[in-house]
Amino acid sequence: MALLPIWRGGRRGNDRAQVKAIYEGVCDVAIINNYYFGKLTADDDPEKRAWAAAVNVNFTNQADRGNHINISGGGVAKYSKNKKLATEFLEFLSGPEAQKLYGAINFEYPVNPAVAGRAGIAGAG
C-alpha cells in the first residue's frame, strides 16, 4: 500500500492534490481535511467530482481514541475595548444561522448541537 504521496517521489500538494493522487493510482491512502473532500464532491468540475468518488473517508479508531482534529475557536481578549460586541459576535457565530452556513458552504461540522451536519459529511464520522 502506498501512503501519502507528499512523501513519495517528491510529490507535493494540498489536500485536493492528495485526493487526486489516489484517483491517479499514485497512492492508496492520504490524510486530508474532510471539508476539502466535501468541496470536491460538490465541485463544478466533473473531473474533481471523479477524484472524490475514487476515495472513501475513514475516521480511524472511533472506539476509544478517535482522530486528530483541527478546530477553530474564538475568544474575547482580556483587555478588549468592546467586550459586549465581541461576545455578541461569538454568540452569532455559534448560533444556528452561522452554523448552517459553515456546514452548507464549507462542509464544516457544526459546533451547535441544534444544527444538523451537511448530508454526505455528517455520516462520515
Joined grid coordinates for residue 4: 501519502
- In 3D, which of 22, 23, 16, 37 has the Cα closest to residue 5? 22
pLDDT score, position 67: 73
pLDDT score, position 103: 87
Three-class secondary structure of residue 29 per DSSP: strand
- pLDDT, tens digit (0-9, with 9 covering 90-100), for 43-63: 999 999 999 999 988 877 777
Three-class secondary structure of residue 3 per DSSP: strand
* Buried-exposed string 80-103: b where 16+ CB fall within 10 A, e elsewhere: eeeeeeeeeeeeebeeeebbeebb
pLDDT score, position 86: 96
| Backbone φ, ψ for residue 117 (5° rounding) | -70, 160
Amino acid type, 121: I
- Which residue, chain included where needed, has cell 457565530? 93
Three-class secondary structure of residue 83 per DSSP: helix
pTM of the prediction? Answer: 0.73
pLDDT < 50 positions in the chain: 5-6
pLDDT score, position 13: 73
What distance in Å separates the CA atoms of residue 18 and residue 7, rounded to the nearest whole number? 11
